Amino acid sequence: MGEKKLHIAMYPWLAMSHLNAFLQLSNKLAERGHKISFLLPTKTQAKFEPFNLHKHLINFVPVAVPCVDGLPPGTETTADVPYPLHSLVMTAMDLTEAAIEAILSDLKPDFVLYDFTHWLPPLAHKLGIKAIIYCTVSSATIGYLVSPERKLREKILTQADLLKPPPSFPSSMIKLRVHEARGLAAATVKQFWPYCDYLGSQFGKPVILAGPVLPEPPRSVLEAKWDKLLGGFKAKSLIYCTFGSECTMKMDQFQELLLGFELTGLPFLAALKPPMGCETIESALPEGLEERVKGRGFVHGGLGSTAVDPQSSFCWVFCDPLRIVFVIGGYDD
């Protein structure tokens, strides 16, 4: 008997890295013959069309992002605005609830996958649809930071709180100092299964590992300017650095990263967002850097990590690892 083919709806957080992660999962599911209805902002669709590898099974469903006081007209994703305005993008996304209900009522999918829209599970339950949280960060990170044992509804985490894991968190050799507790980064690998068990017990939901869900090699043609630039370097000779669309560094981190690339003496391409407090990449560059690395160092604010072929000129890549965890989270099922 053949595998039952499912109809799955996707409604990720309106950030490019989240949209990309959901689309890569959609491609993998479509490979197995499942139908995907991918809900995303109207104008943003064009940016993801080249990465839809199964157009006969993955259908982009347009969602109009409402206007919100404080957001520039036409804002659709966090990539359109500086970091301080990201919370207003969430406000706008929350205002799509009625539209999403109408869309799901019409589509009648078997499942809907989401991440930040807290109101989607009860809405899906009302429509007889299973809701699944698709987390694009690691199980260890979620368990360490937002476990119910942290009692986040009662207090705000301090740096001192982050020095210690939650009481029943799996044992670890990692010990944090105060300065290290200001930022955490992690990725899920097979050895992280105890953290998945911990998450399941804390949230009372099944947890399924789904990743990494790696993208296929790019099929689209590079813009002429990037093709010319990258074509001037030998294969695997250029350092390529990019982070997720949600990553906005502090000024000192941004400048230290670029100064480090300068010290390598190697050609590099850094696709970064302007650091906190800066409107443009140019205004944040270390003094004199542009002249010192002219012809071999390039810093750009608009190139995504899926827009280039990492096998062409690059010797190594920094990017979101997207070791992904499924957390099944129906309303009260």
Enzyme catalytic residues = 18, 115
- 273: nearest Cα among 121, 98, 82, 141: 82
Write phi, then psi, for 115 (nearest 5 degrees): -135, -55
- 51: nearest Cα among 21, 73, 78: 21
- 196: nearest Cα among 23, 19, 12, 328: 328
> What is the distance between the alpha carbons of residues 265 and 285, in angstroms, rounded to a whole number?
17
Q: Which residue has the tokens 């300065």?
A: 179
Question: Taking a C-beta distance cutoff of 8 angstroms, is the pair 86, 75 a contact?
Answer: no
Question: Taking a C-beta distance cutoff of 8 angstroms, is the pair 39, 144 a contact?
Answer: no
- 52: nearest Cα among 42, 37, 74, 63: 37
> What is the distance between the alpha carbons of residues 176 and 159, in angstroms, rounded to a whole number?
10
> What is the distance between the alpha carbons of residues 17 and 30, in angstroms, rounded to a whole number?
20
H helix count then E strand count, the chain: 11, 11
Q: Which residue has the tokens 């690998």?
A: 189
Whole-number Cα distances in Å, 60 to 51, 162, 188, 253: 12, 40, 29, 37
Question: Taking a C-beta distance cutoff of 8 angstroms, is the pair 10, 38 a contact?
Answer: yes
> What is the distance between the alpha carbons of residues 24 and 131, in angstroms, rounded to a whole number?
19
- 146: nearest Cα among 214, 203, 215: 203
Determine the Cα angle at 136 with ends 135 and 140, to 5°.
Answer: 75
Joined together, the tokens standing for residue 174 give 């990692």
